[in-house]
């Protein structure tokens, strides 16, 4: 039994075989591969794409999906072993994960960081607690990384560009009124590096570097394939010659729990918006974003609605890659 918590645990060739299967599933969506199987989708945070694509994907493969929202339709949950449960939580993950494992063939979890203390958030305790106590495979539906989004992004790039080795991938920080999760940024960096792209991280200053765990993995992947990982705060340098521009906003890690101090820095970089002027510096680059996306804050209407925008294709591909992933985990 293997979990899908982060692509760091999976080889490039194994991920590629999921992408290849996703292509087959895209061509032939209805297959009874998971007939009589059941998956649990546990959401501690909101979702449009993840929730609907997993639910619909399960249906298209003959499986049933049950959606749980702890603290709303199901009991609030505790994760610390040995805790005295005299607060809000009615149920411990140790029971929840084992009970759901008796009902289901797979458990998928979305649990965002709390944004108060990165040294705590980076331990990713909720998904690891499920993985520890479940007796069926566990899928990460976004915690501090978003590995399903990674698969969708790479499938989309391969559909448009073929094998992406040696192409310039720019992950650009963009402004957002709130400090957001670094998960998609961590993931975009890792998957582009793992698949042999030359990766550039564009961000306002050194405080917006991503966690060294992910920077280190990206460095390892790129250098082992003779590729580069570059961090820059220079917009022109980053966009110049790019083949892919991937936009995401995130809060600066050193400011976790002190967001009022980070806000003026973030507010001073609204000009990082992806616009036609910046895209003109690229090698006719494709643009993408994981969605949801604030128009004319992160990217202009002109770019997101333009012919090189892949946002809808990437969102569609969530469905196909997750079906391939569920198949791989449940019936390897
Ligand atoms: N990209 C993504 O995960 O979308 P949702 O938050 O709507 O699931």
CATH number of 7-145+318-330: 3.40.50.1370
CA distance 156 to 152: 6
Ligand 1 atom nearest 46 alpha carbon: 6
pLDDT, one tens digit per residue, over 121-170 is: 999 999 999 999 999 999 999 999 999 999 999 999 999 999 999 999 99
Half-sphere exposure of 74 (CA within 13 A, CB side): 17
**Quick one: how far is CA 11 from the chain centroid?**
17
If one counts every other C-beta atom within 10 angstroms of the C-beta of residue 153, the result is: 28
Task: Give the pLDDT of residue 180.
Answer: 95
Ligand 1 atom nearest 290 alpha carbon: 1
The answer to whether the beta carbons of residues 293 and 184 sit under 8 Å apart is no
| Centre of ligand 1 from the C-alpha of residue 321, in Å | 14
CATH 3.40.50.1370 fits 147-314, yes or no: yes
Return phi, psi of residue 110, to 5°: -115, 120
Mutate to test the pocket of ligand 1, among 146, 247, 291 (most ligand atoms within 8 A of CB): 291
CA distance 249 to 182: 8
Which residues contact ligand 1 via a Cβ below 6 A?
47-50, 142, 149, 290-292
pLDDT, one tens digit per residue, over 226-279 is: 999 999 999 999 999 999 999 999 999 999 989 999 999 999 999 999 999 999
Residue of minimum CA distance from atom 4 in ligand 1: 49
Task: Using the predicted structure, report yes or no on whether residue 22 has a pLDDT greater than 90.
Answer: yes
Task: Using the predicted structure, report yes or no on whether residue 285 has a pLDDT greater than 90.
Answer: yes
| Banded model confidence at residue 284, pLDDT cuts 50, 70, 90 | very high
CA distance 147 to 155: 13
In 52-159, beta strands by DSSP E: 64-68, 77-78, 91-92, 106-110, 138-140
| Centre of ligand 1 from the C-alpha of residue 160, in Å | 22
| Centre of ligand 1 from the C-alpha of residue 256, in Å | 23
- Per residue in 46-80, is it b (16+ CB within 10 Å) or e — as a string? ebebbbebbbebbebbebebebbebeeebbebbbe
Return phi, psi of residue 177, to 5°: -65, -20
Q: Decide: helix, strand or coil at residue 296.
A: coil
CA distance 310 to 97: 36
Q: Decide: helix, strand or coil at residue 264.
A: helix
Entry pTM: 0.98
62-87: average pLDDT: 97
38-43 and 168-173: which strand pairing?
A: unpaired
Mutate to test the pocket of ligand 1, among 45, 46, 47 (most ligand atoms within 8 A of CB): 47
Question: How far are the Cα atoms of 75, 88, 209, 217, 253 from residue 212, in angstroms, in the given order?
Answer: 35, 34, 8, 8, 11
Phi-psi sector, 331: left (phi>0), alpha (psi -120 to 50), beta: beta
Q: How do the residues of the chain divide into helix, strand and coil, expressed in percent and rounded to 5?
A: 45, 15, 40
The answer to whether the beta carbons of residues 278 and 272 sit under 8 Å apart is no
Task: Using the predicted structure, report yes or no on whether residue 332 has a pLDDT greater than 90.
Answer: no
pLDDT, one tens digit per residue, over 303-316 is: 999 999 999 999 99
If one counts every other C-beta atom within 10 angstroms of the C-beta of residue 267, the result is: 10
Q: Is 98 annotated as a binding residue?
A: no
* Mean of the per-residue pLDDT values of the chain: 97
Q: Is 259 annotated as a binding residue?
A: no
ipTM exceeds 0.90: yes
Query: Which has the closest alpha carbon to 319: 77, 3, 65?
Result: 65
191-211: average pLDDT: 98
Contacts of 216 (CB under 8 A, 6+ apart): none
Which ranges in the chain are annotated with CATH 3.40.50.1370?
7-145+318-330, 147-314
Contacts of 72 (CB under 8 A, 6+ apart): none
CA distance 140 to 148: 8
Query: Which has the closest alpha carbon to 176: 272, 50, 32?
Result: 272
């Amino acid at each position: 039994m293997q979990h899908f918590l982060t692509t760091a645990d999976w080889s490039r060739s194994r991920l590629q075989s999921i992408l290849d299967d996703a292509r087959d599933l895209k061509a032939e969506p209805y297959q009874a591969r998971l007939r009589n199987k059941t998956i649990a989708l546990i959401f501690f945070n909101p979702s449009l794409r993840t929730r609907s694509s997993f639910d619909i994907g399960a249906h298209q493969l003959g499986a049933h999906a049950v959606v749980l929202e702890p603290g709303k339709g199901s009991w609030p949950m505790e994760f610390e072993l040995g805790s005295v449960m005299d607060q809000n939580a009615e149920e411990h993950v140790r029971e929840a994960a084992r009970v759901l494992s008796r009902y289901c063939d797979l458990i998928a979890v979305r649990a965002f960081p709390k944004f108060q203390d990165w040294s705590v958030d980076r331990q990713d305790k909720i998904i690891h607690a499920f993985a520890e106590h479940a007796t069926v495979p566990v899928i990460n539906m976004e915690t501090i990384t978003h590995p399903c989004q990674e698969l969708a992004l790479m499938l989309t790039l391969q559909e448009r560009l073929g094998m992406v080795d040696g192409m310039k991938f720019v992950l650009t920080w963009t402004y957002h009124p709130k400090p957001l999760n670094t998960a998609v940024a961590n993931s975009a960096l890792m998957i582009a590096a793992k698949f042999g792209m030359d990766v550039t991280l564009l961000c306002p200053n050194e405080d917006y570097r991503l966690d060294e765990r992910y920077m280190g993995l990206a460095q390892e992947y790129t250098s082992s394939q003779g590729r580069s990982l570059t961090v820059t705060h220079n917009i022109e340098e980053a966009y110049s010659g790019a083949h892919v521009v991937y936009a995401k906003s995130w809060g600066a890690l050193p400011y976790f729990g002190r967001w009022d101090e980070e806000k003026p820095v973030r507010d001073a970089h609204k000009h990082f918006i992806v616009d036609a002027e910046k895209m003109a510096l690229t090698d006719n680059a494709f643009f993408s974003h994981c969605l949801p996306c604030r128009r004319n804050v992160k990217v202009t209407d002109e770019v997101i609605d333009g012919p090189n925008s892949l946002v809808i294709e990437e969102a569609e591909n969530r469905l196909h890659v997750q079906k391939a992933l569920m198949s791989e985990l449940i019936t390897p």
